């Protein structure tokens, strides 16, 4: 079945540590996105990529980094520069001319310990 997979589902990070969240899709979608969601709040865009080897900052990119070396994969690194990383992270993908918006992954819950 085609879909978008995020891993791990739960992740714990020590302060000062970098961690990488995985996002893989087999939908042949060109564009991929990372969102952050804090408890009881909406979605905020971190980074997005419309094509391999290219990506753009979203609204809250500080303290995060991404890469897009393959069409299927768009990993997000939460760096030590992100002072408040505890949140629910969502990855999404789409084709720019698609008629059904984004397909979302099931999310990764990151907690700083």
Q: Nearest approach, Cβ of 107 to other proteins (angstroms)? A: 5
17 vs 51 by CB, closer to other proteins? 51
Q: Nearest approach, Cβ of 54 to other proteins (angstroms)? A: 11
Whole-number Å distance between alpha carbons of 13 and 21: 11
> β-strand 108-112 against 10-13: which pairing, if any?
parallel
Q: Nearest approach, Cβ of 111 to other proteins (angstroms)? A: 13
15 vs 97 by CB, closer to other proteins? 97
- For 57, the token pair is 């900052």
């Amino acid at each position: 079945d085609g879909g978008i997979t995020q891993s791990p589902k739960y992740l714990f990070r020590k302060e000062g540590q970098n961690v990488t969240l995985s996002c893989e899709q087999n939908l042949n979608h060109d564009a991929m996105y990372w969102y952050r969601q804090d408890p009881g709040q909406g979605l905020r865009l971190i980074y997005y990529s419309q094509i391999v080897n290219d990506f753009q900052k979203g609204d809250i990119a500080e303290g995060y980094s991404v890469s897009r070396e393959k069409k299927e994969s768009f990993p997000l690194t939460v760096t030590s520069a992100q002072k408040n990383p505890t949140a629910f992270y969502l990855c999404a993908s789409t084709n720019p001319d698609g008629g059904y918006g984004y397909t979302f992954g099931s999310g990764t819950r990151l907690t700083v310990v």
